[in-house]
């Protein structure tokens, strides 16, 4: 049976507190597995206001009704209100996810800080952010994380190196079509990337007549034919864990009817031989429905052999 990974990004305190338990309940009822990637430090969602000057951002905000999904209080964290420490306040919720049998891993330390700052950050900044997240994860779960999935699909060269040096088994830091070994400016990073292969709900809703009532039909049409390597679908605790929960349930039922096994990144990684994975460049690119640039899977990297 083809696999479809449910990769759940948890960005905020509210998403952790409310969205995560709702998702766990829904997934268990449908006997679906998933990978939960947690933001482990302070929630500074309100600082995203500076993105208002980014091309295309305000269009996305108007389409996806940010206030209704995130709540007014969340949008004040880090500005008018202090940002709550997610990992400290919600440690019990995070552990419960692992105890329920789901794969858990690192999304970031500070979601807004990482998403807006990592691309141009230096080595010291990057090391500190990943060290803070790794230390907090180990405090909560009693063992190091084995999977990393970058906030906003944003990374830099040092962050990619650290997925290897910190001994992550696998990562999902970019958009693409199939598992691969990433190559950054001819530098090979041996930690396999399992990229997000499908558009997210917030990229689709409000475009070409798609809304909360019919967006599931569009996604199910995209997955009607299963690729050999399966799919990775990224969802968010703040969206599909709350207002869009009914949409997610329709998707779960539809994917099960299509014959997919709803699985984790770890399960897909277990079936891969890294030595046989193709090497692909990892590049900056754009994705329809999302503002700014993010990491995408590029062309296959072929090593030159001297004559």
**Cα dihedral 206→211→212→216 (10° resolution):** -110
Assigned token pair, 246: 């009914």
**Whole-number pLDDT of residue 146:** 98
| Cα distance between residue 302 and residue 299, in whole Å | 9
CATH number of 3-172+197-274, picked from 3.30.300.160, 3.20.20.370, 3.40.50.300, 3.40.50.2300: 3.20.20.370
Which tens digits make up the pLDDT trace of 157-172?
Answer: 999 999 999 999 999 9
| Cα distance between residue 172 and residue 178, in whole Å | 11
Higher local confidence (pLDDT), 51 or 3: 3
Assigned token pair, 297: 């899977």
**Whole-number pLDDT of residue 302:** 74
Residues 100/32, Cβ–Cβ less than 8 Å:
no
Which tens digits make up the pLDDT trace of 165-197?
Answer: 999 999 999 999 999 999 999 999 999 999 999
Where exactly are the structural domains of the chain?
A: 3-172+197-274
Which tens digits make up the pLDDT trace of 271-296?
Answer: 999 999 999 999 999 999 998 999 99
Q: How does residue 73 score in pLDDT terms, banded at 50, 70 and 90?
A: low
């Amino acid at each position: 049976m083809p696999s479809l990974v449910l990769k759940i990004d948890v960005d905020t305190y509210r998403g952790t507190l409310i969205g995560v338990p709702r998702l766990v309940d829904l997934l268990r009822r449908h006997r679906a597995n998933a990978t939960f990637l947690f933001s482990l430090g302070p929630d500074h969602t309100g600082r995203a206001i500076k993105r208002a000057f980014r091309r295309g951002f305000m269009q996305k905000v108007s389409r996806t009704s940010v206030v209704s999904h995130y709540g007014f209080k969340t949008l004040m964290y880090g500005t008018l209100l202090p940002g709550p420490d997610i990992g400290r306040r919600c440690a019990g919720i995070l552990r419960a996810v692992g105890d329920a049998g789901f794969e858990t891993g690192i999304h970031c330390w500070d979601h807004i800080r990482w998403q807006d700052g990592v691309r141009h950050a230096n080595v010291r900044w990057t090391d500190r952010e990943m060290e803070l997240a790794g230390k907090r994860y180990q405090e909560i779960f009693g063992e190091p994380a084995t999977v990393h999935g970058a906030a906003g699909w944003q990374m830099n060269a040092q962050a990619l190196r650290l997925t290897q040096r910190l001994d992550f088994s696998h990562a999902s830091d970019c958009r693409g079509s199939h598992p691969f070994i990433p190559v950054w400016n001819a530098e090979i990073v041996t930690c396999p990337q399992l990229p997000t292969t499908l558009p997210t709900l917030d990229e689709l809703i409000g475009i070409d007549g798609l809304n909360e009532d019919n967006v599931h039909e569009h996604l199910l049409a995209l997955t009607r034919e299963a690729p050999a390597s399966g799919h990775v679908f990224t969802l968010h605790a703040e969206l599909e864990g709350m207002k869009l929960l009914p949409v997610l349930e329709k998707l779960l039922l539809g994917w099960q009817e299509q014959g997919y096994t709803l699985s984790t990144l770890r399960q897909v990684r277990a079936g891969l031989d890294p030595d046989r994975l193709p090497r692909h460049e990892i590049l900056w690119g754009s994705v329809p429905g999302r503002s700014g640039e993010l990491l995408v899977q590029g062309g296959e990297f072929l090593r030159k052999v001297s004559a």
